[in-house]
Structure 1
Amino acid sequence: MSAQDEESFFVDALTEYQWARDAAGLAPSSIDKLIKPVIEVCDFYGTVPWHLTPREVDKYFAGPGKRARHTNRQKLNHIDAFFAFLEQRYAHEIMMRFGASMESPVDPFNRPVHRGDFGLRIPPSQTAMKEFFARWREQLSHSRKFAVACRDYVMSKIGYISGVRAAELCPVTMGDIHWEHGQWGRFVVQGKGARGSGPRPREAYLFREGRELLWWYIEEVRAEFGDDVEHASAPLWPSERKPKAVAALNLPIAPAITPSTFRRQLHAAAANFLTGPVTDLYPHLLRHVVSA
């Protein structure tokens, strides 16, 4: 592939990014501001985004591109957001066509504070995560509370595969699972709203591995929690404890696990099964695992 091919791909990606943000309801003036910093830095170095390095970004914003602190922070956030878009939609294609890994040049060291949804800590590698889940699954049969251990394992793995947030994953019900949607099935979550619009339902992907794992969990484990697993409103991830209010009303379903409980269980699993430079996990990190 030539430099011209890469430049054309970059222009096409910028256009699609603008379409996506327009579909999300952003004003044209806001969309224009989103892409200007990307073009600015790429033009300065005469390159395309996937060849930018953190050092080049640092040098630019500490030198010729330096502006007021608020302005620089806003530009870095916009650059990182565009890289999140490229990673989500084009990481594989960019690697196949141009041999470049899709990694944002805005890293944990130059990342602005108060960055909202794109604020990340350093996640483990894909290899570390593969080993983590393998060790965890091997120990399930030795767990004192087998059903609870399986719930935590499958919930974490589905969160890792689908990329949904803890607050979206916990309330999923049995009726939210649609095995017939797409190639491998999907499940409905109440996605994060924008500009005060409130949560919006969307479908999350299971993929092949997630479908097989979730089917095993529902067929072999879910009924162990003792409520009516056939009820459409029954939680996919039930709590092991039934609150007194629920018991008094004699409801057929258990309450769902809470995000705080999910975080505690993931922390405990990381302490037992995760090895490498990253020693802890929390739900948000599952959505940002880097390539090995």
Structure 2
Amino acid sequence: MARAPATAEDLEALETDVLAGFVLARAAAGLSDGTISSDVVHLEQVRAWFGRPLWEMEPADADAYFGKVLRGAAKGTRLARVQAIKTYFLFLELRHKIEIHQMTGRVVECPIDEMNRPRGRQEGRLRIPPTADQVGRLFAGWRKDLVPCRKFAPGARNYTAAKLMSEVGLRVNETCKLDLTDIKWDLGRFGKLHVRHGKGARGWARHKLACALTLGATGLPCVQAGVELLIDTGIWLHRPDFVEQFITIDASVATALAFIDWDAAIAALDAGRLPCSGGERAVLRIAAGMSGGIPLDLHDALTSLDQINLAPTAAAVEHAAGLPASGREHA
């Protein structure tokens, strides 16, 4: 029995479903929301110019688009758009090639080929970082040069910025936009930096919450250790169901304070209302044990920790015990 020709509504629905499937597949591959969104924007801009479903694009169409429309665009933009198109057509060929052929009679083929692919240098470069000894000699020599330098203030500023980038890992633009008020010496064991600009400022709502929790635990080493374990592992403070239910913020004071209801959180964990992995469960139980004095099966908790969460957990235990950061080495 011959299949009825596809209507415009059928093709529109297929195009929508294909794009939704593309987004879901990229998310399943572990790409960030920002990367997926960028790919979709590139595809939508090409679709708006083309005026038809992208699977109808041919090499001649790509020639016209990249040779005329994007002729003066930045190289990075051209390369990113090409990559988005190539990835999308790879998805079409793997998942929807037969379906599209049955509905349209068209064989899906990527319009980007060796003749019209924008050229760009994308070869990976091997970067060998300097050793700790080399970095130490660099800053030692730099410090000596500060004494006889003609303009001490700019030299000291540059040295401090470079040292900060070396020790903390900040980017250049993030470091340049720091103020003295962004250094919070009273937060945590070593103080904290308030990065207000650049990539480090993304997700600042969580940064403010972390600062409020740390301030709320000031003067209570065990509570502070448990709070910093949640901050350092970066698990539970990213979950809205945990933050909204078990964290209370006191904004009545000049600097906001935040407190965790450890008993309620563990009760919800035991009741299955906080689904999580074994490692995440162990982190929350250990933090609650240190901060809230809630009993836990230490054997079960420690054997559930993965390699990533083991180091911050050990640091939190040191903090709760009043040991310095290198306590494991000298105890």
Scaled by the length of structure 1, what TM-score is found? 0.38
Higher RCO, 1 vs 2 (CA within 8 Å, ≥6 residues apart): 1
Higher helix share goes to which structure? 2
Structure of greater Rg? 2
